Amino acid sequence: MSHLYAVLGVSRSVDSAGLKSAYRQLAKACHPDLHAGDDRAALRFKEISAAYETLGDPQARAAYDADCAAARVASRRRLWKTATTMSASFVITVGSGLMAAKWLLGV
C-alpha cells in the first residue's frame, strides 16, 4: 500500500482544511467522468478517495499514523541489526586475516 499522505501530496502535519483542499483538487483532476475510458485515472481516483477516507477521519488517521510510526521503528531496528552484524563480520574477517598474516610472517 502506498503512503496515504504521498497519494494526496501533503505532509503528515497537514490540518483537516489542507487535507480536504488537496483531496478536492486531486479528485477534480482525476475524476473518471473527465477521463472516460482511462483506467489509470479511475484507479488513481480510487486511491485518492481511499486515502482521504482514512486521513479525513480523525480516529482512522491516528491509527494510520501509529501504524506508520511502528513501521518506522521496526525498520530502524532491522537496520541497526544489519549494521551490527556487518560490523562484527568485518572485525572477525579483518582480525583473522591479520592474525594469519602475522603467523605466516612469523611476527
Tens of pLDDT, residue by residue over 52-90, are 999 999 999 999 999 999 999 999 999 999 999 999 899
Query: Are both 4 and 49 inside the same structural domain?
Result: yes
pTM of the model as a whole: 0.68
Domain that holds residue 92: 71-107
- 17, 51: one domain: yes
Residues 47 and 88 in one domain: no
Instruction: State how many domains the chain has.
Output: 2
Give me the CATH number covering residue 23.
1.10.287.110
pLDDT at 27: 92
Cβ neighbours around 48 below 10 Å, total: 23
Read off the C-alpha cell for 5.
499522505
Tell me whether residue 29 is in a domain: yes
Q: What pLDDT does residue 55 have?
A: 96
Cell of 68: 506508520
The three-class DSSP label of residue 43 is: helix
Examine the domain organization and report whether 10 and 46 are in the same domain: yes
Angle between helices 39-56 and 58-105 (to 10 degrees): 100
Q: Give 4-32 pLDDT, tens digit per residue.
A: 999 999 999 999 999 999 999 999 998 88
62/47 Cα distance (integer angstroms): 19
Cell of 67: 501504524
